[in-house]
Every structure is written in C-alpha cells, then in structure tokens.
Structure 1
Amino acid sequence: MASSYSALLLGDSAAFTAAFRTLINNPQFSDVTFLVGGEKQEVFAHRCLLSCRCQAFHAMLSQPQKTQGPLLLSHVRPEVFLAVIEYLYTNSVTLNNAIALEVLTSSMEYGLNDLRKLCVEFIKDSLTVEQVCEALQAAVAYGQMDLQTHCLAFIENCTREVVHTRGFLELSKLAILTILRSDCLAIDEVELIHAVQEWARVGSAVLGSPVCDVAEGVVCELRLALLSPSELTTLEKENKKDQMIPIESIAEAWKMHALWKGRRTRSCLCRRRRGTLPREHHRHLDPQHK
C-alpha cells in the first residue's frame, strides 16, 4: 500500500500581502468602524481579521455591547491607528519620525510584540538630537532596555547639544537620572548643572511645585566636587535663588576639597565624566579615572 504524502507549499507572499493591503480602511465588506482621534475620523476594518491577529481586539470585539455601532478611540491619532491596522493586515508597517513613538505606545497597549520590535529598530536607526530624549522617555516608561541603552549611548556622544533641546526639559525624574548616572557624558559638570537647573525650573512652572521639590532625588547625581573652589562659590551664591541643591550637598563638596590634601579619593561624587574639563584639584582624584 502506497504511503500518503503531504507538504505545505507557499505561494507568492508579496501578492498575498498586496491583496490584503487593498482592504486597509476600505469600507467595502468592512463590518466594524472606529472613530479615531479628536476629530473622530472614520477607520473601516474587518472584525475577523482584527480578532485573529490581536488578542486585545478579540476581547474588545467580543463584548456584546460593542458588536453594533462605531467604536470610539479618542486617545490615538488616526495616522498612528492606521499604522497599527497596516501591520495587522500586512505584517509590515510604514513608519516615520512623526509617529514611530506613538506606534510603539500602541504596540504595547495592544500586546503586539513583533510590531514593538519593528518600532524599536526604526527608532534606533533614526534617532536625532531633537528626538532622542523623547525616545529615552518612552524606553524608560515601557521598560525597553535595548532602546534605553541605545538612546543613552547617543546622548553620551552629543550631550551638550541634547541638554539644550525641549525634550531634555520634559524628561521625567527617572529618565533624567538615567542620564546623570553615566560616566560617559560629553559635557563639563558646570554646564550639566546649569542644564539640570533649567530642567527643574521648567518642571516647577509646569507642576506648580518648588524647584527644590522637582529636583529632589536628582541633584544627588550631580558631581559638585568636580567644580573648582571658585566655581563652587559661584554655584553656592546662585543656589540661593531657588535652593535647588541642598545645602548639605554643597557642604559635602567643600568637605571633599578640604580633605583632598595628601590623599586620593575614590568617591563616586568625584568621578570624572568623559567631558569633564580638567581642574587643578583633579590631580587628587582616583588615577584610574583620568
């Protein structure tokens, strides 16, 4: 008796994808409509395709009260939602710098792990000085360590430019701490302190909180002891305006200066960054961190 034989044979995947692409936002044969964004733009889709491709949509469309009438999605922009739809229909997505981070957010919301990976790769490949802080913020918020590491490396290479962007001023505490803990920032400590002061003042204006409260937990990462005595004196005077830096931190920096004579120190507060400009007292620092 002859043995049976079977095989899975693949047709033209490009033609298959092209055919499904014609269904994107096509009202013909669609059986579900979304009202997307503040303008409630209509987006047409097919219930069975969304349900089989995305568990979140399957749960959404399985609710009896949502089987009739359009579904409201006011929290997402139409172009972002259409990118998600494109991915669900074709397993590919068209991204640009204007929507990539928001598509990443949607991929997390809808549990689309492969779309998340595509977004992360695009963001990594297209980072700019103006957008890197926003990308870092997203990476920190969503626990995307690969993207976070990539953003931090970018920031380390162009720190002076990055700290003058709007994105830097809008960073969360956790995100800015990620930056301040790096030894590889290409910026001198004085300029970095001024950048953090500006960040805290903007945050104070937005949140209606004192500058010192906004900066709490952040200023401890500033390496005040790297400043020369004259720079530290100037900082102490400037600090009287908003008291961003606790008096104890400034006193600790002065203490380090007083104790340097005749000994070296390995304190993390004295560790020089890549962009730290040399001062005379730096000869007392750990020689491993030249």
Structure 2
Amino acid sequence: MANEKTMKGNIEEFAVQMKRLVNNKEQSDIKFLIGSNRKPIYAHRCILANRCAVFKAMFQDQAQRAGVVDNTVPFVLADMTPDIFLAVMEFIYTNCVTLTPKIAIDSLGIGLEYGLEELRKLAGHYLIENLAVHNVCECLQASIVFAQTELKDSCILFIDDHTEDVFKSKGFAELSEDSLVEILKSDGLTMDESKILKYVRDWAQVNSVVLKKPYVEIGKKAVKQIRLTLFTPEEIEKIEVENRKEPFIPIECFSVAWKFHATKKSDSGNPLMRVRTGTESREHHTHLLTEAPSA
C-alpha cells in the first residue's frame, strides 16, 4: 500500500525479552547436549530453523530419518563448548552477542560454519577492537585460517606498531609458519632486520622442539622473507659464517644480497629490496626502495 511503513519499536527491549527464551526449559521444544560433558541446553525449533539454515537442515534430516519430528530426541554437539553454544543461541534469538576474549575467535569460526554472517562480523569487530600484544598472534592465525582479510590487516598494522613487544611474546613462538610469513612480508615492522632475523631463528628453534623436526627444516618459507639486502657486506659475511654451522638460510638468499651489493641496483618488483619502517640506516640503503611501488 502507498502509505505502508514499518514503524520500529524499542529494539533493545525486544532483545532483552528474547534473551529470556535462551536455554528456557519450560517453553522449549528441543534439547541439545553440548560438549564432552553433554551439558543440556534448551531451545526452540522454529526460531533456530528460521534464523539458521544449518539448524533447519539438521532438523529436516532428523525428521526424514525418523519419519516424524521427535522432540524427545536430543541433538548432541560434542565438539562445541557450552559457553560458545550459548553465545550462538543469544545471537540467534536477539541478533546481539555477549563476547569475551575466551570465546570471540570460536564465535567467529562458528559464525562462518553456521552461515551466521552477522555473528561473524560482530566477532571480527570485537577482535579488532581488543587487539593486544598478548593476543594479536592468535588473532592473526585465526584471520588466516578463516580467510578474514580485515582482521588480518588490522593484526599486521598492530604488529607493525608494536613489533618488538609482539616478537617477544609467547604468542609469537606459537605462530604457524604461514602466519609468520604474513608478518615478515610487512614493510611496516618497526625493528631492524638484525633483530628480526634473531627472533625468526628463535622461533625456528622453539618449533623444532615442538614439531620434533631438525632446526634447519623449520621455517623454509619464512626465512626467505628475511631481507638480507638491508645488511652491509660485513654483516652478511658474519651471517654466512653462522649459517655454515646450521644452514638455516638458503644459499640463493645470499646470492640475491651479494648481487645487489655488486650492482647497486634494486629490483622494483622484489619486496626483499625494500627498507622497513624500523630498519636502522646503512649507507647502501640509498640504492634500495623505501616503499612499495604504486599499483
């Protein structure tokens, strides 16, 4: 109709009232058994089915296999903890979610797994707003696992601004190699390459023990992100001597650095010939790039 208009009431009050239905046994028509201890949590089939396609398919599959909808048969979700499941229920019922550092990353993953796009966004924004030295590496790994570009970029920017503190953190030692590679690609790291190399070596030694692999086999992709061209010839010679004892850095990486020093020519397409924000000045840096070439 021409004069038809949706008038919105108090959305916040609606969410408060709907939250009272979360895990309300008296008015529920479905039960879940959550986690390894099978904690019972109660819900409403119609709300879950209409808000989440995964739950709708779950209920339909049960009805097809049993030939009838049986509200007495619980659904077992052993791979989800009760606090995560209750957060998901809160979102489904209210379109809001109460997040904590403990459940935010898992909520992001569940949002993706269950097709709850708004939950994914809320969890991602929460993580970005609460980035800190102690959690940024874990958040970066989550951003890579779940392919969350905005979160990944925010983590890298945070690490750029707090490079040494992050590299000293427990989370840095626990990084996957793919996550470490993403960090080392950054031009904005505020630390000299000599320290970056030291921390990468330390990371490799820790993970050598954890993964039970030889030190020289750890971080083959990551070490190729070390920018040897930033070092002076004298520094490179010392690194080579150390590397002969344990060949952590591939020979071809040294070849690139020595070729640069011989020709004093930078390759505009090679990110390893760019000076980072925190690189200590050396005379030969005048021949290197200070920023990425424009697209």
Q: Do both proteins adopt the same fold according to a TM-score greater than 0.5, normalized to the shorter chain?
A: yes
Q: Is 1:272 the equivalent of 2:270? A: no
Residue 154 of structure 1: how far off its partner (Å): 0.9
**Which residue, out of 254, 259, 272, partners 2:258?**
254
User: What are the equivalent positions in structure 2 for 1:169-208 lying under 5 Å apart?
Assistant: 169-208=173-212
Give the C-alpha shift of residue 275 in structure 1.
Answer: 0.4
User: Contact 1:226/1:282 (CA < 8 Å) preserved in 2?
Assistant: yes
Show CA shifts across 1:76-135 (max 9, x none): 221111111100111101112221111111111111001111111111111111111111
Quickly say closer, same or farther: Cα 1:53–1:212, change in 2 above 3 A: same
With 203-212 and 180-189 compared, the bigger mean Cα shift is at 203-212
Measured against aligned partners, the alpha-carbon deviations of 1:46-74 in whole angstroms (never above 9, x if no partner) come to: 11111111001111122225855322222
- Asked whether 1:285 is paired with 2:283, we answer no
1:103 partner SS:
helix
Q: Percent identity?
A: 38
1:167 matched to 2:171? The reply is yes
User: What corresponds to 2:26 in structure 1?
Assistant: 28
Shift of 1:233: 3.0
Change (3 A) 1:73 1:288: closer
CA drift of 1:6 comes to 5.6
> Is the 1:36–1:73 contact (alpha carbons within 8 Å) kept by the matching residues of 2?
yes
Q: How far apart are residue 155 of structure 1 and its match?
A: 1.0
Alpha carbons 2:232, 2:284 under 8 Å: kept: yes
Report the alpha carbon displacement of residue 206 of structure 1 after superposing the two structures with TM. 2.5
Residue pair 2:173, 2:203 contacting (<8 A) in 1 also: yes
Shift of 1:203: 2.5
Q: Which residue of 1 aligns with 2:150?
A: 146
Say how many residue pairs are matched.
284
Structure 1 residue runs of 4+, over 6 Å off? Answer: none
Match status 1:110 vs 2:114: yes
> What is the identity, as a one-letter code, of the residue corresponding to 1:142?
F
Q: In structure 2, do the counterparts of structure 1 residues 29 and 191 end up closer, same or farther at CA, with 3 Å as the change threshold? A: same
The aligned amino acid for 1:22 is: R
CA distance in 2, matches of 1:102, 1:186: 31
Cα distance, 1:4 vs structure 2:
10
Indicate whether 1:70 and 2:74 are aligned.
yes
Please state whether the residue corresponding to 1:44 is helix, strand or coil: strand
Q: By how many angstroms is 1:264 displaced?
A: 4.2
- Superposition CA RMSD, Å: 2.4
User: 2:111 and 2:12 mapped to 1: Cα distance?
Assistant: 24
| Structure 2 residue runs without a partner (length 5+) | none
Structure 1 residue ranges without an equivalent (≥5): none
Does the 8 A contact of 2:15 with 2:96 survive in 1? Answer: no
Distance 1:271 1:281 in 2: 12
Corresponding residue SS for 1:33: strand
2:225 corresponds to 1:221: yes
For residue 221 of structure 2, give the secondary structure of its aligned residue in structure 1: coil
CA contact (8 A) 1:25 1:44 kept: yes
TM-score normalised by the chain length of structure 2: 0.87
Residue 17 of structure 1: how far off its partner (Å):
2.1
Q: 1:10 to 1:252 in 2, by over 3 A?
A: closer
Q: Structure 1 residue 183: deviation in Å? A: 1.0
In structure 2, what is the Cα distance between the partners aligned to 1:49 and 1:146? 31
How far apart, in 1, do the equivalents of 2:124 and 2:79 lie?
21
